[in-house]
Amino acid sequence: MKKVAVLMAVLALFAAAAFAAPKHWVVGFSQIGSESEWRTANTISVQNSFLEDTSFTLIYSDAQQKPENQIKALRSFIARKVDCIVFTALVETGYGPVLEEAKRAGIPVIMIDRDVQASDRHLRLTIMGSDFVKEGEKAGTWLADYLKKKGLDDGKKQINIVELQGTTGSAPAIDRKTGFATVMKTHPNWVLTRSQTGNFTSSEGKQVMEAFLKADKNIQVLYAHNDQMALGAIQAIKEAGLKPGKDIIIVGVDAVKGAFEAMVAGEMNCSVECSPLLGPQAVQAVRDLRDGKKLPARIWTIEGIFDETNAAAALPTRQY
Ligand code: AHR
């Protein structure tokens, strides 16, 4: 009888443990700012996903495009002894010491979207997001196919390309340039006549494109590291009396709604998708971590490519 009672008590303990509410975790999220439609969608996705799970409290910090604000935010998360840090690095360098501090404090760091430089990667647990090099390659490959399909590239006549780079030193700017340059190397008649940062914003994209056009209107292609800059550049092209999407072929990255509208209007030619909807994946990773599971070193996002052949059909279902 006594044995049965003990067994029942043990079983009850196991059942209680199995159904116990998950431990409440406080998570610090250091975001870079709000420079684009993409970024806004990304912030909302992360905030809403954590809000939906009441076993988490998210502390949000907006760095307003300043790496020093991110370092301050990470230090305040460490001082508050958060359970985990979710971090998007504005630029790749400069975060080594603060990541060391987080490691010493035993606080795991999960990167989303933008990574830190290779030599600091041992200080964070994982990175989830897009393959920016592949995005640059996809943009270049799309361009090669398009020029061929339209009979615009005989392999001899020079094709002048201008590039609007993202924020200097950021992972997407470095990698998207690298990926596109790889494809350029296989087309000796493609010439990068001008390349400058537009800081991922529409206003700077417009300003820089104005300067490009003022210097030389002989431009066949604009490659923009994000759609936001491409949309600003479209304004500059129109104001210069040229037809965007026709006189100048425009290739962007992100696949935000504005780019779809421009593609449907015939003013932009292609956008390589880069999904900002990383919230559900981020919450799942933090949950797994809390449950003691080992996270993969890299969690990739699967993404498509859009142009005049599929933009109109996809537009009504776009979420960002
Ligand atoms: O890091 C992702 C990039 O940052 C997006 O392409 C861009 O729109 C954003 O600002």
Whether the CB-CB separation of 320 and 256 falls below 8 Å is answered with yes
- The minimum-distance atom of ligand 1 relative to the CA of 274 is 6
Tokens representing 112? Answer: 């989303």
Look at residues 320, 70, 117 and name the one whose alpha carbon lies nearest to residue 301: 320
In whole angstroms, give the CA distance from residue 181 to residue 319.
Answer: 30
In whole angstroms, give the CA distance from residue 258 to residue 40.
Answer: 13
Whether the CB-CB separation of 75 and 87 falls below 8 Å is answered with no
Cα angle vertex 270, ends 280, 257, to 5°? 45
CA of residue 159 to ligand 1 center, whole Å: 27
Q: CB of 234 closer than 6 A to ligand 1? A: no
Ligand 1 mutation pick, 132, 200, 223, 256, max ligand atoms within 8 A of CB: 200
- The minimum-distance atom of ligand 1 relative to the CA of 172 is 1
User: Between β-strands 305-307 and 190-197, what pairing exists: parallel, antiparallel or unpaired?
Assistant: unpaired
Q: Which amino acid is residue 10, in one-letter code?
A: V
Whether the CB-CB separation of 244 and 236 falls below 8 Å is answered with no
Nearest-10 crossing angle of helices 96-104, 67-79: 10
Alpha helices in the chain (DSSP H): 2-19, 37-52, 67-79, 96-104, 132-149, 171-185, 202-215, 227-239, 257-264, 279-290, 311-314
pLDDT reported for residue 16? 56
Whether the CB-CB separation of 279 and 45 falls below 8 Å is answered with yes
CA of residue 311 to ligand 1 center, whole Å: 20
- The minimum-distance atom of ligand 1 relative to the CA of 170 is 1
pLDDT reported for residue 230? 98
Ligand 1 mutation pick, 34, 36, 128, max ligand atoms within 8 A of CB: 36
CA of residue 200 to ligand 1 center, whole Å: 7
pLDDT reported for residue 301? 92
Q: CB of 135 closer than 6 A to ligand 1? A: no
**In this structure, what are the phi and psi dihedrals at residue 206, rounded to the nearest 5 degrees?**
-65, -50
pLDDT tens for each residue of the chain, 320 residues long? 566 665 566 556 555 555 678 899 999 999 999 999 999 999 999 999 999 999 999 999 999 999 999 999 999 999 999 999 999 999 999 999 999 999 999 999 999 999 999 999 999 999 999 999 999 999 999 999 999 999 999 999 999 999 999 999 999 999 999 999 999 999 999 999 999 999 999 999 999 999 999 999 999 999 999 999 999 999 999 999 999 999 999 999 999 999 999 999 999 999 999 999 999 999 999 999 999 999 999 999 989 999 999 999 999 999 99
- The minimum-distance atom of ligand 1 relative to the CA of 200 is 10
In whole angstroms, give the CA distance from residue 127 to residue 121.
Answer: 9
pLDDT reported for residue 21? 80
Tokens representing 138? Answer: 């996809």
- Does the reported pTM lie above 0.75? yes
CA of residue 228 to ligand 1 center, whole Å: 9
pLDDT reported for residue 234? 98
CA of residue 23 to ligand 1 center, whole Å: 33
In whole angstroms, give the CA distance from residue 298 to residue 126.
Answer: 6
Residue 9: alpha-carbon gap to chain centroid: 51
- The minimum-distance atom of ligand 1 relative to the CA of 114 is 1
Q: CB of 130 closer than 6 A to ligand 1? A: no
Nearest-10 crossing angle of helices 37-52, 227-239: 150
| Domains detected in the chain | 23-130+276-302 (3.40.50.2300), 132-274 (3.40.50.2300)
In whole angstroms, give the CA distance from residue 244 to residue 241.
Answer: 9
pLDDT reported for residue 10? 57
pLDDT reported for residue 9? 61
- The minimum-distance atom of ligand 1 relative to the CA of 225 is 6
Look at residues 253, 262, 256 and name the one whose alpha carbon lies nearest to residue 226: 253
Distances (CA, A) of 200 to 177, 188, 299: 13, 28, 24
Residue 55: alpha-carbon gap to chain centroid: 27
13: left (phi over 0), alpha (psi -120 to 50) or beta: alpha
Cα angle vertex 21, ends 17, 27, to 5°? 125
Ligand 1 mutation pick, 254, 278, 320, max ligand atoms within 8 A of CB: 254
